[in-house]
Amino acid sequence: MDIEIVAAFGKNGEMGLNNRLPWVRIPSDMDRFRKLTIGHPIIMGRKTFDSIGRPLPKRVNIILSHSMTQQRKLYVATSLQEAISIAVELGYSKVFIVGGQQIFKEALSAHKLVTGMHLTTIDAYFEADTFFPQFDTSEWEIVDAQHIADNPSDPYESAYRHYIRK
């Protein structure tokens, strides 16, 4: 099973403020996220799901929560391992972890659970109360990197990096 993280954050790892993105939408990053995840299961915490406000279409949405109940178009799991098992039982060989901070931290701390990461670093500082966890870069190889200049549709410069575990 390929387990990959998809995340965007500011220069200091800033990901969110008051359960919302701390920046205005970045269309190129949203397009990349959509292209990566459509057709695959996505795992997210309940707070991330609440911030999105709905199941994301054309994906199996698996929410980590101890308080939510099963809902139409959603699977609910109480642990990351259970969420991954749901994806396996549904016949998928790849799953994306899409947030939030605690889920990323748990996934990265589990011994070699995550096989890849798609990370966008936004070239700006933001006020934030959630952050992407630090990780040991020596365990990862960058297999794709792109610089995205600010432009009329993307208000910030950013850098996209696709990492795979060495």
On the 0-12 / 13-18 / 19+ scale of CB atoms within 10 A, 36 is: middle
Query: Into how many domains does the chain fold?
Result: 1
Q: What angle in degrees, to the nearest 10, is found between the helix axes of 80-89 and 101-109?
A: 80
**pTM for this one?**
0.96
Chain position carrying tokens 């969420």:
83
- State the pLDDT at residue 151: 84
CATH code of residue 55: 3.40.430.10
Ramachandran angles phi, psi of 2, nearest 5°? -85, 125
Average pLDDT over residues 111-136: 97
Domain holding 160, by residue range, is 2-165
- State the pLDDT at residue 85: 98
Question: What mean pLDDT value characterizes the chain?
Answer: 96
Q: What amino acid occupies position 147? A: H
